[in-house]
């Protein structure tokens, strides 16, 4: 059976091949190069297809550029948020460090002035740092001052007791100073006895007690 397919005219074949190349370039995101392949086309049916494709690629390029700008803006916003979060975290650590410093106020005597709201994470942090300092300095006394503490709930009071016992286990002794009535009531409610903790009115009295109790090292 004879082949009835009639070959396309050379110019029409070239136009079709150019359109296929335009589509291929556009699919790869090469919009500028794709649009450069367009030229003045005859006002025929294929010319209308070419013009429609040119407009479509132009809109596709604009959409792609807008998407790229949006993604770039989102990335910049993400980077800015991460930088702010890192700054906030650094400030939080600095605030925690300042809110519970450990001071060498005398030979063998450390002071830990607590300030603000004392929650579980901060108490765990204080306990870890204090134990490390007691071991490193061989301090005998740790004066934990509660004058600047906003409040002591049952959980915080329990941590204070644990702190005193942990310091005792490594050869030191905790003295709590500046304890208010509310904190005292909370500790009493936990069944704390006088043997569990040693309390004095303020840091000055605490230091006097430590100096009076000191014995020369051999």
Place of tokens 């005792």: 168
Judge whether 124 and 159 are in contact, CB under 8 Å. Answer: yes
Tokens linked to 143: 């004066």
pLDDT per residue rounded down to tens, the chain (218 residues)? 445 566 666 766 777 777 777 777 777 777 777 776 666 666 666 667 777 777 777 777 778 778 888 888 888 888 888 888 888 777 766 666 665 688 999 989 999 998 877 777 888 888 999 999 999 999 999 999 998 887 778 888 888 888 999 999 999 999 999 988 888 888 777 766 555 678 899 999 999 999 888 765 54
Residue 204, C-beta contacts closer than 8 angstroms, at least 6 positions apart = none
- For residue 1, what pLDDT is reported? 47
Q: Global pTM?
A: 0.56
- For residue 218, what pLDDT is reported? 46
- For 168, half-sphere exposure in the C-beta direction (CA atoms, 13 angstrom radius) is 12
| Cα separation, 137 vs 131, whole angstroms | 10
> Can you name the residues that pair with 109 across neighbouring β-strands?
106, 141
> Can you name the residues that pair with 151 across neighbouring β-strands?
117
CA angle 154, 109, 99 (to 5 degrees): 50
* Distances, alpha carbon 188 to alpha carbons 1, 29, 146, in Å: 109, 74, 16
Tokens linked to 192: 């704390």
């Amino acid at each position: 059976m004879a082949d009835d397919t009639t070959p396309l005219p050379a110019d029409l074949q070239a136009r079709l091949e150019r359109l296929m190349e335009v589509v291929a370039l556009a699919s790869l995101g090469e919009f500028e190069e794709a649009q450069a392949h367009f030229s003045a086309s005859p006002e025929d049916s294929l010319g209308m297809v070419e013009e429609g494709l040119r407009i479509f690629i132009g809109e596709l390029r604009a959409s792609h550029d807008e998407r790229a700008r949006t993604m770039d803006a989102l990335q910049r916003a993400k980077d800015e948020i991460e930088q702010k979060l890192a700054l906030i975290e650094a400030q939080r650590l600095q605030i925690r460090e300042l809110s519970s410093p450990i001071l060498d106020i005398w030979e063998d005597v450390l002071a830990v002035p607590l300030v603000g709201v004392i929650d579980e994470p901060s108490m765990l942090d204080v306990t870890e740092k204090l134990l490390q300092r007691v071991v490193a300095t061989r301090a005998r006394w740790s004066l934990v001052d509660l004058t600047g503490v906003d409040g002591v709930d049952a959980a915080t009071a329990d941590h204070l007791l644990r702190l005193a016992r942990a310091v005792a286990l490594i050869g030191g002794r905790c003295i709590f100073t500046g304890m208010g009535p509310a904190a005292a009531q909370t500790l009493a409610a936990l069944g704390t006895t006088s043997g569990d903790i040693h309390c004095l009115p303020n840091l000055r009295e605490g230091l006097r007690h430590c100096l009076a109790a000191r014995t020369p090292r051999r």
